Chains A and B, each alone.
Chain A
């Protein structure tokens, strides 16, 4: 089976700041890849390049060994970190607009709204939704049309335990039906029971990547959080020496 995504020497500069510096890793079909790193590590920048929102300064991203065309992104589902929809419009109107852009029928949106528990408030204006409900609406929009790749930017932020549990269940179901998940997060306790692979970005560079078991064994740690902190400390020490 062909590799789903390949990031090849991906580099993105904003002026003189390198948000991403020669990042190389790949994502195989069916993986749940956790993208870990502190604020400003380049996780959202990497997603921006993948989704065509940012132009890479160098390098490329391949989808099944080919450059990504805009039409390929119709099969992506994307949940941004800060979900901002059209506040005056209702839940349904927002959903149907994005469903129409991807040419999905109303029934598909209806199904996804029921799945995330928002169908009962479909007539409510988005401005009246709580942060958790807005997050779920964004998820419903991302899930429309059974995307082959789900790109989720900090999906666990600000969720209460019940919502977190519900989100993890949905993401597992998506993975079970064959979707590949690329999830950036700080909440390692939430991704650890879910993820199969992880890539750690530090200061725009790839510090480590592999299966969760490989990373834990290589670092001699029991949890993903401990692995992450160990690698972050080591990288910081190396940077100090270099400086």
Chain B
């Protein structure tokens, strides 16, 4: 355990010294502040709103930025030590590969979670004070699921870091993974379903994935504005069949669990838990398997 902690604290300190943690905190705080203030610009309004409204505004920001931060941090964790040959020196000292991996993941996790948590806490406090809103439940869920989304992509980044031989290779793979998870997944999945199924299935999928589209944010704000819950429902008429579809991709799952209740998208808790566990354990398990087979 001491070895894991030694590696984790060194990883975190390195990120702190390099300015990564501070830069990440500033970018995150800036983005979260701008989105909270200007999130309603699509419907012609500016200013801090209550928690529920802010959550809707922040959905896109979190789903794009947090996986990117996780991958940017994770892709570099092991491959850089391999390139510099310091990993060999660590392992030659009696540290098992599993412990080295765990230390790297935990250290990276702290380096990612600290700026994200800081951003959520400051934004949450500012919204609470300015909008006098006490219904923090939805914002709390956004923060927790956002952190979890980051940790999952940190794990995926770590897997990329074990699979690649150079930092450049790992960076390219990390960016491609981000594009697939955030942009291409829905398109590819829809394409497969359209190719394999009927027009009826296509229509269902279109309706289902509508909730994960950027444009639906304006519709949801309009629904809040008019007080007409039916308007929100119109953005996506969904069925429970959608849940399994959304659980396949952590980005979609994140979005689904944070949509307002009126959007009528619910992912069963066991399915969401299973998806998160599968992604985390899958990524870390594969990374461990690969690391044990690498000649240094």
Contact = CB atoms under 8 A, between A and B. Distances in A.
A101 B96 CA distance: 11
A105 interface: no
Given A48-B296, A100-B2, A103-B2, A76 B92 contact: yes
The prevalent SS among residues of B at the interface is helix
A73 B94 CA distance: 4
Contact of B96 (A70, A85, A88, A151): A70
A89 to B, nearest CB: 8
Given A88-B17, A97-B10, A80 B295 contact: no
A84 interface: yes
Given A74-B93, A76-B92, A78-B89, A54 B296 contact: yes
Interface in B1-15: 2-3, 6-7, 10, 14
Interface string B1-45: 011001100100010011000000000000000000000000000
Given A48-B296, A53-B295, A101 B84 contact: no
A78 B85 contact: no
B86 interface: yes
B95 interface: yes
Contacts of A102: 93-94
B3 A101 contact: yes
A211 to B, nearest CB: 28
Interface string B282-296: 000000000001011
Contacts of A107: none
Given A82-B85, A84-B84, A84-B86, A98 B93 contact: yes
A88 B19 CA distance: 13
A48 B92 CA distance: 9
Contact of B92 (A51, A84, A85): A51
A176 interface: no
A73 B88 contact: no
A interface, how many residues as a size bin? Answer: 20 to 34
B14 A86 contact: yes
Contacts of A85: 86, 89
Contacts of B17: 88
Interface string B75-94: 00000000011101111111
A118 to B, nearest CB: 17
Interface string A7-29: 00000001000000000000000
Contacts of B2: 100, 103
A63 B54 CA distance: 62
A89 B17 CA distance: 10
A154 to B, nearest CB: 14
A234 B93 CA distance: 38
A101 B18 CA distance: 22
A102 to B, nearest CB: 6
A48 B86 contact: no
A61 B295 CA distance: 17
Contacts of B295: 14, 48, 53-55
Given A78-B89, A89-B14, 4 more contacts: A53-B92, A80-B88, A101-B95, A141-B89
Interface of A: 14, 48, 51-55, 70-76, 78, 80, 82, 84-86, 88-89, 97-98, 100-103, 141, 151
12 contacts: A51-B91, A52-B91, A54-B295, A70-B94, A73-B94, A80-B85, A88-B14, A88-B18, A97-B6, A97-B10, A101-B93, A102-B93
